[in-house]
Amino acid sequence: MKKALALVFSGALFVALGAPSASAQATWGAISGYVSDPSGAAVPGANVAVTEVRTGIVTKGLTDSVGLYNITHLDPGEYKLTVEASGFKRFIQEHVTLQVDSTVRIDPKLELGEVSQQVSVTAAPPLLKSEKTDVARNINEQTIQALPVTAHNLSKLFDVVPGAVENVLQIGEGETPSGATSVTVNGMWFGANEYVIDGITDTACCFSNQIVFVPNQDSVSELKMSAGDYDPEFGNSAGLIAQYVTKSGTNEIHGSLWWTNMNKATFAADPFTEKIPGTGPSGRGTGPAPFNQNHAEE
C-alpha cells in the first residue's frame, strides 16, 4: 500500500511540475468599459453585444450594478460594439480592432431616446494602451504579407523586438524549424523564450527550448512578440513571448498565390568562403557560388 501511494504521489508531482511546460496560453482578447447616461451616472443591466465583422459571430453580455461590462474570449479581428438599454438610444461603435492578447476599453455614453433610434460612431476608438502593461510589438496580417521575410520564415522578425539580440546557435539551419534563428531578450537565456500558436504551446521541452513548428507566412493573421511585463499566465518564461494567430474562415471567398526567386545576382560573396572577384593574390576571386531557387505556393 505504501509503495502504491508513493507511486501515485510521484505521478501527481510529475504532472504538477510538468504542467507549466505543456499548458496552453490564451491568445484571446477582450472589450471592456463603463456605460453611462448623459449625466455620467452608471447604466446597469444594459445589453452589450460585440460582433466579429468577418464571421458575423456575436458575443453578448450585460453591464453590472455599477455600469461596467467585460466581454472576454474574443479572437483577434475587427468588431462592432452595440449597447442597448430601455429609455436610451442604441449605441453602436464601429471599427473596433482587437489584437492578439489585448484589451480594448470603450466607454459608451448613452443618449435619452427610443431603442429604435441609434447613435453610431464610425471613427475607430483610440489605440491608447491603458489596460495592459506589457512591452510588445504586434504585426498585423497586412504587414506580415508585405514584409520580404527571408524564406518566408517569420522567426526572422524576432530581431525587431525591443531588447532582442541575435543568438548564434551551434545547430545547423536544416536541423531546426526556425532555420537556427534565435534571440536573447533583455539579456535572458534564449531557452527562457516561449512560442505559442493559437493558444497552444509550441516550445520544444526539456532540450533546446526552440520553436517546434514555424507557421507559413501566408497562414498567419497576426504575430505578437512580448519582451517584458507580460501577464502571469506566462510565468514560466522570462525572455521573448512570441504568439502566432493563424487565419480562420470568414464569410468571404479568399485565397492567395505567391512565387519567390533567390539567385546569386542578389547575393553578396562570403568573404570567408568565397573570394570576391578582383581580389586575392592573383585577382581571380570566384564571387558568389551559382545559385537559383524558385518556390511557389497557393
Name the superfamily (CATH) of residues 135-246. TonB-dependent receptor, plug domain (2.170.130.10)
CA 31 to chain centre: 17
**Burial level of 98, CB count in 10 A (0-12/13-18/19+)?**
buried
Walk along the chain (298 residues) and give the pLDDT tens digit of each residue. 544 444 444 444 333 333 344 444 567 788 999 999 999 999 999 999 999 988 888 999 999 999 999 998 888 888 999 999 999 999 999 889 888 878 888 999 999 988 777 777 766 666 555 566 667 788 888 888 888 777 778 888 888 887 888 776 666 555 666 666 778 888 777 778 888 888 888 777 766 677 778 888 888 888 888 877 776 666 667 778 888 888 877 677 767 777 777 787 877 777 666 666 665 555 566 667 777 877 666 6
Instruction: In whole angstroms, give the CA distance from residue 135 to residue 277.
Output: 46
Neighbours of 182 (CB within 10 A): 22
pTM of the model: 0.57
Picking from 47, 102, 105, the residue whose alpha carbon sits closest to that of residue 74 is 102
How many Cβ atoms are within 10 Å of 169's Cβ, its own excluded?
16
Q: Radius of gyration of the chain from Cα atoms?
A: 25
Hey, where are the domains in the chain? 29-121, 135-246, 258-297
CATH superfamily membership of 29-121: Carboxypeptidase-like, regulatory domain (2.60.40.1120)
